Amino acid sequence: MFQTTPERNDIDNKFIKYDSKMLGQVYGTSDVTPYWIADMDFPIASPITHAMQQLVSRESYSYEFDSETVFQAISKWNLDRHNLDLNPNHFVQVPGVLTAIALLIREFSHEGDGILIQTPVYHQFRRLIESAGRKAVANTLKIEEGHYVMDFKDFERQLKDGDVKVVLLCNPHNPVGRVWTKSELQSMVEIAKKYNVLIVSDEVHADIVFEGSTFTSMASLNYDNSLTIIGSPAKNFGLNSISNGYIYSDNTELREKVKATTVAMSLDHGNAFTTHATIAAYQQGKEWFDAFLAYTQNTRDWIVQFMANELPQINTFVPEGTNQIWFDFSGLGLEPEQLKVLLTQQAKLALTPGTWFSEPNENFYRMNFASPLDQIQASFERLKISIETL
Ligand SMILES: Cc1ncc(COP(=O)(O)O)c(C=O)c1O
């Protein structure tokens, strides 16, 4: 049985997800069940805990770097899980996925250049682009038969217009839950090749892919002008506050350029906890991860069924991957403020507003469903009652 709650809950934490001040600021109340941040409530895999306990017991933190074993462990995991053949010598390590994105934007574009994002998309992309003085160029995703797809015509137009230097791909896509197919990614690469635009692929959600879908890494497509951020154990192993970012490219010139900057800024120094936790995750975490994936797939299925049977007026986008689910509440016919009151004050749900992700329609919300199913079931029952008593 997959364990959904930690053995102990008497140890202090400052988790953002549950922080009453933060909840008050965002939702106007802290009396909500938090489903807003993309992290899990579950205890992590025991081999990772054990590895970290060993470190604590050692009582010594002499300089210790072992990124070589990390890169080997990530490569082996990807070969076994995705049949993705990575060269362990082609990684560059930085202190986080967002650090990787920020660094790559600055390394491969200039102030004022355009960086293309496919909206609605993870909100930090826009923040990192704009805070670097670059321009976020939106290539808005289309909805076709209830399913998000890329708008390649618009994509080509944006690249042709000339000032896009980097495409920042979210693969799989947060928040709409698409696992881009090989054919979609090949179409993207064909266009990027034509205009010689660099693709940076954020693949932090790569392992969280449900039955029926197959993850394709940008690193497998032989596009020379690309870098992939791969292997961070943040989302798949729940190591959000202690994981690194791993940049990968088979293009020596691109990789050496990134490496030179990370070395110059001493960003490549590993942290012993992160290093040991990452090695334990990828070498010994398979059993736990498979149980976690099965558990969250079952939760996704429960939510999708419940919405179809009980609340069909709400449009639910079935995620193919990621632990995020995306809803359009337009069918309720409420004003945005009324919808907010319904969700936060009546149903007591802290969902992420779609507007954060550059979604103009204020009826869209994202929910992170990596929480215990019984808690989620109670939340949806409350949502149903709140809607019935409108
Ligand atoms: C697509 C995507 N990239 C990056 C991150 C953040 O990565 P990190 O906190 O490891 O820098 C997230 C977190 O939700 C994400 O969804």
Q: Could you state, in order of their start, the residue ranges of all structural domains in the chain? A: 16-44+286-389, 50-285
Phi, psi of 267 (to 5 degrees): -90, -10
Q: Cα angle at 186 between 80 and 195, to 5 degrees?
A: 130
Token pair recorded at residue 56: 């604590």
What confidence score (pLDDT) does residue 83 get? 98
What confidence score (pLDDT) does residue 269 get? 86
Q: Cβ of 10: how many Cβ atoms within 10 Å?
A: 5
End-to-end CA distance of the chain: 39
25 CA → ligand 1 middle, Å:
22
What confidence score (pLDDT) does residue 270 get? 84
What confidence score (pLDDT) does residue 260 get? 98
Give the binding-site residues of ligand 1, using a 6 Å CB cut-off.
38, 96-98, 122, 170, 174, 202, 204, 232, 234, 240, 243
Domain 16-44+286-389 has CATH 3.40.50.1820: no
Residues of the chain with pLDDT under 50: none
The counts of H helices and E strands in the chain are 12, 15
On whether the pTM is more than 0.95, the answer is: yes
Q: At what angle do helices 124-131 and 97-108 cross, to 10 degrees?
A: 40
Helix residue ranges, H only, the chain: 20-27, 46-58, 67-82, 97-108, 124-131, 152-160, 182-194, 252-264, 272-284, 286-310, 336-341, 373-388
69 CA → ligand 1 middle, Å:
23
98 CA → ligand 1 middle, Å:
6
Range 50-285: architecture per CATH? 3-Layer(aba) Sandwich (3.40)
* Digit-coded pLDDT (tens) for 198-235: 999 999 999 999 999 999 999 999 999 999 999 899 99
* Digit-coded pLDDT (tens) for 121-135: 999 999 999 999 999
Which of 16, 36, 39, 98 best tests ligand 1's pocket when mutated (most atoms within 8 Å of CB)?
Answer: 98
* Digit-coded pLDDT (tens) for 5-64: 999 989 999 999 999 999 999 999 999 999 999 999 999 999 999 999 999 999 999 999
What confidence score (pLDDT) does residue 231 get? 86
Residue nearest to atom 13 of ligand 1 (CA): 38
Residues 6+ apart with CB under 8 A from 384: 310, 311
Return the sign of the alpha-carbon dihedral for residues 296, 316, 355, 341: negative
Domains 16-44+286-389 and 50-285 share a fold: no
